[in-house]
Amino acid sequence: MTTIQTNLQRVLNELDGSNTRLVAVSKYHPAEAISQAYECGQRIFGESHVQELCAKHENLPADIEWHFIGHLQTNKVKYMAPFITLIHSVDSMRLLHEIDRQAMRCNRTIDCLLQVHVAKEETKFGFTPDELLQVLDEGEWKTMTHTRICGLMGMATNTDDTEQIRSEFHTLRQLFDTIHANHMPQPTFRELSMGMSHDYKIAMSEGSTLVRIGSSIFGDRTY
Ligand SMILES: *Cc1c(COP(=O)(O)O)cnc(C)c1O
């Protein structure tokens, strides 16, 4: 086994028996690294740059499920609309509209997660919990026919304070439950994307259904 395959197996062992699925975050790593994980059965890969995503999609097996996890500009949606499986990072209604429009042009429905800002950092994108509840109350999302809101995504503050991380994930979990109860009772609203290499075990204990793990599998990224 290669280092990537050993790392992947270790992470998969941690997820074994849970309800959490792995998004292997392959951004900045070459197609060859993805192929190694693919050979071990991994099929879900996460990317955060549109051009890189599209190039990899063209050159790698067709049964890979590509997830987009980075900040997405509306003018780039059209490039991934034909094939993307899940967009984790919807942070405005304007973006959701554009995804809906491009999905319609491709005759598909695109699954989306709404990104929520729970971290104590200025740099993270996403709706604040209050903004999100307001936007959902306004109900414009109900007019969209080619997108399906399947859950929420969030990032905790980049800190060693595990209690802070836990509390931020807990906030996200509670927001998910509130929205599921009040706005989106449908069973397809079921994904909570939270947890990265350094905090995914905490995220799992707070109810994460998707963890997005990069460096623990593929090693450090060189930008
Ligand atoms: C890069 C990235 C990850 C993976 O981070 P690691 O620390 O390498 O596991 C997860 N989520 C998002 C949104 C990212 O951009």
Residue 36 CB partners (closer than 8 Å, separation 6+): 2, 4, 5
pLDDT digits (tens, 9 = 90+) for 190-211: 999 999 999 999 999 999 999 9
What distance in angstroms lies between residue 59's CA and the mean position of ligand 1's atoms? 22
213 touches ligand 1 (CB under 6 Å): yes
SS3 176: helix
| 135 burial type by CB count under 10 A (0-12 exposed, 13-18 middle, 19+ buried) | middle
Instruction: Say if ligand 1 is within 6 A of residue 56 CB.
Output: no
Phi, psi of 72, rounded to the nearest 5 degrees: -115, 125
In this predicted model, what pLDDT tens digit does every residue of 130-188 receive, in sequence order?
A: 999 999 999 999 999 999 999 999 999 999 999 999 999 999 999 999 999 999 999 99
The rounded Å distance from CA 155 to ligand 1 centre is 9
Q: Is 126 in the pocket of ligand 1 (CB under 6 A)?
A: no
Domains plus CATH for the chain?
A: 3-218 (3.20.20.10)
Evaluate: CB of 212 within 6 angstroms of ligand 1.
yes
Residue 198 CA to ligand 1 centre (angstroms): 10
